[in-house]
Amino acid sequence: MSEPKKRIFIGLIVFTVFLITAVTVALYLIPYIGLKNIHPLAPKVVCVTMGALIAALSIGVGLLVLTIIRGREIVGATKLRGIVIEILFPIMIVVGKLLGISKEKVQQSFVEVNNILVRAKWNGRKLDRILLLMPHCLQFNDCDVKITTDVNKCRSCGKCKIKDLVELAHRYNVHLSVATGGTLARRRVAEAKPQAIIAVA
């Protein structure tokens, strides 16, 4: 099930880089004669700039694919890879739509790949600060205990999964927080300063 998801992301990101390369080359070749008239060095400057952009994107994608295949983080690759994903992901959504791949499938594929990248980054390293970030909707609807301020206030009645999560957090000595929305979730992350987050949206 996870394999096709990864293939969607990898295939789309490689195809997107290929598409950007083709468009970039076309944009360079079309005004090539005109650039010479502006300044003799203008074509070379545009060529070097476009070449550098294509090279950076290609290297970033190559590092990403290599990390997925190896299952281990490549030293110094995280930042470049992150920039490449940030630039290409919105374009990939559009390209996927043109190819008949839904936005949801592309997003699911990205989540699958991102999970692999996170595991690769922390492979073999012991984490001391892990945050379990859970949504408020997991709590029993009619419960009058406000666990968003402190999950340890849970009465362990067993009517919802909060009881099990509190026990899990205590057993593995991890921090558990329940949030009502994105603003509170970000605040909890800032307070806990975790090395890793296991979250449910």
Instruction: List average pLDDT for each run of 10 residues in the chain, which is 201 residues long.
Output: 68 86 78 68 82 85 81 71 79 88 87 80 74 86 83 86 88 87 85 84 76
Residue with tokens 């009502």: 180
Looking at residue 30, its pLDDT comes to: 65
Q: What is the DSSP letter of 30?
A: T
pLDDT for residue 4 = 54
Question: Among 132, 130, 82, which Cα is nearest to 110's?
Answer: 82
Could you tell me which residues are beta bridge partners of residue 132? 176, 198
Separation CA 124–CA 119 (nearest Å): 9
Claim: this prediction has a pTM higher than 0.85? no
d(CA 36, CA 76): 39
With H, G, I as helix, E, B as strand and everything else as coil, classify residue 56.
helix
In this predicted structure, what is the pLDDT of residue 1?
44
Angle in degrees, 0-180, between the axes of helices 103-121 and 2-29, rounded to the nearest 10? 100
pLDDT at 124: 64
Position 32 scores a pLDDT of: 66
Q: Contacts from 122-125 at CB under 8 Å and sequence distance 24+?
A: 122/195, 122/196, 123/71, 123/72, 123/73
